[in-house]
Amino acid sequence: MDVHDAQSNEIPPRVEYELTDDGAELSERLKPVLEWEQERHS
C-alpha cells in the first residue's frame, strides 16, 4: 500500500493520510515524468 490512513474518534471524524516509504519512493521516481509532461505543455 502506498498511502496510510489513520482515523480518530472525533466528531466530525478526521482522517490523516501520509505516504508510506514505498509511496514516497514512487513519488520521487515519478518526478522526472511530471517534469517532462510540464515541459511538453508549456
Tens of pLDDT, residues 7-39:
888 888 888 999 999 999 999 999 999 999 999
C-alpha cell at 38: 510540464
Residue with cell 522526472: 32
What one-letter code names the amino acid at 28? Answer: E
Q: How far apart are CA 42 and CA 39, in angstroms?
A: 5
For residue 1, the model assigns a pLDDT of 58
pTM for the predicted model, two decimal places: 0.60
29: left (phi over 0), alpha (psi -120 to 50) or beta: alpha
Q: How far apart are CA 39 and CA 25, in angstroms?
A: 23
Helix (H) or strand (E) holding 11: none
